[in-house]
Amino acid sequence: MTLRFHRVSFGYSPDRPVIQDFSTDIGPGRPTLIIGNSGCGKSTLAKLASGLYMPDNGHIVANDSDLAEHEARSVRQTIAYLPQEADLFSGSIRDNLLMAKPDATDMEIARALAGSASTFVADLPNGIHTEVGEAGGHLSGGQRQRIALARALLQDPKALILDEPTSSLDPGSAHLIIKTLKMLAKDKTLVVISHDPKLFDKDPVGVIDLNPPRTQSGGRK
């Protein structure tokens, strides 16, 4: 899937645009990093890309189809967005994963967990049947983030957009997540918001720097 932004503008009030006249193409093959200072519009751009927000002007097109012409549910089936604060609900880890694919097999669940969370889940007394508590309160922030990523992997979207996916993780867990994201980027559109422009080390990435003057490097223009 290729996400195409064509002269997109968006603001939370008419006189204060956050994103203005923004154009770019983002596709599979390598990760695309969105970087910039706090308040520059990184999360706003991610929500636009995932269809959670609609632009005030311009168009966002996914595989030649304007996102504005589709129902939100349809967009979320093909474009997954993971906010910095993972969204879990009361129930077991398994229950939360099955929200992405209710008919998932045990093998599919295990495969999704392997990319982000299998180690810590296996160490829990009740494993995948562990109750996470209200809003995932029985888990740490990093554990919630890893379960949310596993849920997105189970969904198998065509595009995956992540907001600071390693911010709550220890170095070992962060390394596992980055390795998984590199593999996903080979055939999925992968957009990652990060304060760290070297998140993927020396691997080739597209970079959208929202700090003024806005710049792009290594991406599709």
Q: Write the pLDDT tens digit of every residue in 2-56.
A: 999 999 999 999 888 999 999 999 999 999 999 988 888 999 999 999 999 999 9
Report domain extents, the chain: 3-217
| pLDDT (0 to 100) of residue 105 | 95
Beta carbons of 26 and 189 less than 8 angstroms apart: yes
- End-to-end distance of the chain based on CA atoms, in angstroms? 16
Task: With a cut of 80, say whether residue 74 has pLDDT above it.
Answer: no
For 2-145, strand residue ranges (E) read 3-11, 17-26, 32-35, 57-62, 65-66, 79-82
Read off the pLDDT band of 215 (50, 70, 90).
low
Q: Select which of 85, 108, 134, 164 is catalytic.
A: 164
Task: With a cut of 50, say whether residue 69 has pLDDT above it.
Answer: yes
| pLDDT (0 to 100) of residue 213 | 64
- Name the pairing type of β-strands 17-26 and 65-66: unpaired
Residue 161 CA to residue 175 CA, distance in Å, equals: 18
Please report, to the nearest 10 degrees, the dihedral formed by the alpha carbons of residues 85, 86, 88, 93 taken in order: -140
Comparing CA positions, the residue from 24, 27, 22, 26 lying closest to residue 58 is 22
CATH of 3-217, one of 3.40.920.10, 1.10.10.10, 3.30.750.24, 3.40.50.300: 3.40.50.300
What does the pLDDT look like over 158-197, one tens digit per residue?
999 999 888 878 888 888 888 888 888 999 999 999 888 8
164 given a catalytic annotation: yes
Comparing CA positions, the residue from 98, 67, 73 lying closest to residue 3 is 67
What does the pLDDT look like over 142-166, one tens digit per residue?
899 899 999 999 999 999 999 988 8
Task: With a cut of 90, say whether residue 199 has pLDDT above it.
Answer: no
Determine the 3-state secondary structure of 44 from DSSP: helix
Beta carbons of 33 and 207 less than 8 angstroms apart: yes
| pLDDT (0 to 100) of residue 219 | 47
DSSP string, 153-172: HHH--SEEEEESTTTT--HH
Task: With a cut of 60, say whether residue 221 has pLDDT above it.
Answer: no
Task: With a cut of 90, say whether residue 68 has pLDDT above it.
Answer: no
| pLDDT (0 to 100) of residue 212 | 73
Question: Which of 75-84, 102-111, 201-210 has the largest mean confidence?
Answer: 102-111
| pLDDT (0 to 100) of residue 218 | 53
| pLDDT (0 to 100) of residue 216 | 62
The pLDDT mean for the chain works out to 89
